[in-house]
Amino acid sequence: MTGPSQSPAHPFAQRSGASAFYNRLFTGFVWFVGICVIVFILGLLFLLLQKGLPKLTWDFLYGLPSEIEEGGGIGPALFNSFYVLFLSLVISIPLGLAAGIYLAEFAPDNKWIGLVRICVEGLSSVPSIIFGLFGIALFVEMFQVGLTILGGAVSLAFLNLPVLTRVTEESIRAVPVEMKNASFALGSTHLQTIRRVLIPVALNGIITGICLVAGRAFGESAVIILTAGVTTSGSMWDFNLFSPGETLAVHLWYVQSEAIVPDAREIAQKATAVLIFVVLLINVIFRVPLWLNNRKTKL
């Protein structure tokens, strides 16, 4: 069952001429481009990590940023990043899961639900800056709370909701119908089936979705600039929801383009390395156990 090109004993395989030449040329070309592009992108990221990671110190990660002098840290920005990420996930995960479960399990198949699906899909393609503008209109203009961590977290949660909804719906739909029927046959109610059968089986997909969303929220900057501002409260461990909430991604942009500190470049390099490192970490920590689990169940 191998391709004809792999059996040289076959008389037809020994064709020479233009098409065979083009074929070989094409194969070589695709290999070349594929390897080059992937090596290029990975090389860039490696370069960024290599420039920043060795210079990292605890003082930098913990320290307060400085506006004028050298040696400022990223402590509050880093803390805000995790805080905003946590808050936005707390808001968006329950809502996203519930909406996804509704679309997968309860929703009747009619025009209204079609409209809801279009809404979810449409919302997931809305550019992030629109959520920022919406956040301004909502929090700064309507509720008059100004640029706050709360506003940033809620806007981020709105940004993440549609993605979570779709991921949940898709992974619950992917659960084999036999499992569902078996659960119903054992006498469980719909809620019990969802809780004990559908969600555990779909958990793999849902967690992948959550970690996708978390990585995106951690690195998101446009929404945060508009809704949480470009300053921090200036102290560590500030849990106040109404203090300004500059995150690490915003700080990176701010330092590189607006700040006047003399070591801006170095701060930016180190902040970039931290940013990439954390995003990779979020992905790896969540995915490796799932991946191992998958292999185990398959073998």
Partner 1 sequence: MLDLHPSGQASAAAELGSSLRTGSGPSFDRKARLRVFNSAFKIACIAAAAFVCLILLSILFFMFRTGVLTFQDVSFREFFLSTDWDPENDRYGALLFIFGTFALTGLTLLFSVPFSVIIAIFLAEMTPAWLRNLLRPVLDLLVGIPSVVYGFLGMTLLVPLLRDLTGHELADGLLAASIVLTIMVLPTISRISDDAITAVPKKYRDASYALGSNRLQTIVRVVLPAAGRGIMYAVILGMARAIGETMAVVMVIGNTAQIADSLFKPTAVLTSNIVMQISSVEFDSTWNYALYMMGFLLLVISLLMIVVMRFLQRKGGGHA
Residue 34 touching partner 1 (CB under 8 A): yes
Distance CA 227, CA 129 (A): 10
Footprint on residues 103-122 left by partner 1 (CB under 8 A): 103, 105-107, 115-116, 118-122
Q: How far is the CB of 87 from partner 1 (least distance, A)?
A: 17
From 96, 152, 244, 245, residue interacting with partner 1 (rule: CB under 8 A): 96
Query: Residue 34 — φ and ψ, nearest 5°?
Result: -55, -50
**How far is residue 268 from each of residues 41, 53, 66, 73, 293, measured CA to CA in Å?**
20, 12, 13, 11, 38
Residue 205 touching partner 1 (CB under 8 A): no
Residue 199 touching partner 1 (CB under 8 A): no
**How far is residue 66 from each of residues 69, 72, 205, 244, 255, measured CA to CA in Å?**
6, 5, 42, 16, 10
Decide whether 66 or 256 has the Cβ nearer to partner 1: 256
Q: Among 132-140, 176-184, 198-206, 238-246, which window interacts with partner 1 (CB under 8 A)?
A: 132-140
From 7, 10, 45, 285, residue interacting with partner 1 (rule: CB under 8 A): 45
Distance CA 191, CA 21 (A): 62
Q: How far is the CB of 297 from partner 1 (least distance, A)?
A: 17
Q: How far is the CB of 42 from partner 1 (least distance, A)?
A: 7
* CA-based max dimension of the chain: 81
Footprint on residues 274-293 left by partner 1 (CB under 8 A): 275-276, 279-280, 283, 287
Distance of alpha carbon 49 from its chain centroid, rounded? Answer: 19
From 74, 84, 89, 99, residue interacting with partner 1 (rule: CB under 8 A): 99
Footprint on residues 224-253 left by partner 1 (CB under 8 A): 225-226, 230, 249-250, 252-253
Listed in sequence order, the residues at least 6 apart from 103 whose beta carbon sits closer than 8 Å to its beta carbon are 113, 116, 117, 120, 165, 169
